[in-house]
Amino acid sequence: MKITVKDIEQAAERLKGVSQNTPLQYSKRLSKHYNAEIYLKREDLQEVRSFKIRGAYNKIASLSKKERENGVVCASAGNHAQGVAYSCNALKIHGTIFMPIVTPNQKIEKVQQFGDGYVDIKLVGTTFDDASIASQVFAKDNNAAYIHPFNDPMTIAGQGTVGKEVYDELKGQVDFVLATIGGGGLISGISTYIKTHDHQSRIIGVEPEGAPGMFESIKKNKLVTLDRIDTFVDGAAVRTVGDLTFEIVKKNVDDILLVPEGKDCTTMIELYQNEGIVAEPAGALTISALDYIAEKIEGKTVVCVLSGGNNDILRYPEIMEKSLVYQGRKHYFIVEFAQKPGQLKRMLDEALGPNDDIVRFEYIKKTNKEKAPALVGIELKDQSDLKPLMERMDAIELKYRKLTEKDMLYEYLV
């Protein structure tokens, strides 16, 4: 099924008074850093705090009277669910929303709030794909209209209005547009509109390193279902992208970049500290990816779609942790101490540097042993401080092992 500019323009009319024409915010900090004109398309400022309201409302508003009477159903990791809930409330249609069990509470509560009695929530499985399977069975059993979060022409057309707004505001003068890819609906809509008007504009997709569904599919030129995904970037954690979005991306998207989750966390922190922007993990991906194309974008006009800002404040300790580990500033060691006075003091006095800080220490004395291990977490001022630290630990003949991602305990800690 082909998505056209006309479909997107019709969606823009349908969405008037529902979704906002969000600001295209010029970033002085990023523009100076990359020697380019960098704009942020602030979809986090939608009432549901993500672009998903566009596709959800466009799809539901286009249903027939009979389809509306039968109700709607969808699956979502959070943002699409909020868009569907908002739309059900606005159009007075009953909806059933399937969400993974791991969905942050903040998103579940917001779905309930936007639905305001018009939606039922069912928590199923640990990934979007688990919830999706359950929702499709429900749709068939109850003859309910299925509102797909990305692999539907009307949903894609709704998301494409982001591209229309960018193109219109910059009067077509845009060299690069970066958009997050989860299932591919957003970038499919954006790329359809912009590429139709200007073949020279480059469209760059961005996925989390732990869920590279579109990247792998394009690489192998066929739909790929990932065996395992990292669900940290929950708004983009999809095991299988859409067949429709895959074809559109294959045609329109110039490149797909993968961003490590830790780097994404660092960007989230920088956005908050510098611009006061609360971005969710999926929302910050496009800004994170600028480092990978820094040379290409010099002197160019670049738009990063900040796709959403639904981030649970309870996640920030984990975000800080992942950021520090990615920067090489936080490390964990198993250290074997002789069970006699003064052992820890010697480590503090002779091994720890002036800017090193012990941020975690777990030790249980065992009276029947001469030596016992301790878990020690150390935060450094700079990643270059790690080698001198380990050299000083070696110099005092401290027996230790640095934990890595291969250690089961490391997964528990980070």
Residue that the structure tokens 């796709």 belong to = 307
By the 10 Å C-beta count (0-12 exposed, 13-18 middle, 19+ buried), 408 is classed as exposed
Strand blocks (E) in 154-270: 176-180, 202-208, 255-259
Write phi, then psi, for 120 (nearest 5 degrees). Answer: -110, 140
Question: Which helix (H) or strand (E) is 269 found in, with range?
Answer: helix 261-275
Contact call for residues 351 and 333 (beta carbons, < 8 A)? no
CA angle 30, 260, 193 (to 5 degrees): 60
CA angle 21, 47, 134 (to 5 degrees): 115
Q: Which CATH architecture best describes the domain 52-146?
A: 3-Layer(aba) Sandwich (3.40)
Same fold yes or no, 52-146 and 328-413: no
Residue that the structure tokens 């704009």 belong to = 39
What pLDDT shows up at residue 367? 63
What pLDDT shows up at residue 368? 62
What amino acid occupies position 297? Answer: I
CA–CA gap between residue 389 and residue 160 (Å, rounded): 52
Contact call for residues 184 and 242 (beta carbons, < 8 A)? yes
CA–CA gap between residue 122 and residue 59 (Å, rounded): 21
Ranges of residues in the chain with a pLDDT under 70 are 366-369
What pLDDT shows up at residue 370? 73
> The CATH number of 328-413 is which of 3.30.379.10, 3.30.420.10, 3.30.70.260, 3.90.1150.10?
3.30.70.260
Q: Which fold, 5-51+155-321?
A: Rossmann fold (3.40.50)
**Alpha carbon of 272 to those of 39, 275, 276, 311, 346: distances in Å?**
16, 6, 4, 12, 39
Token pair for 345: 């003091």
Domain spans, the chain: 5-51+155-321, 52-146, 328-413
pTM for this one? 0.89
CA–CA gap between residue 373 and residue 410 (Å, rounded): 15
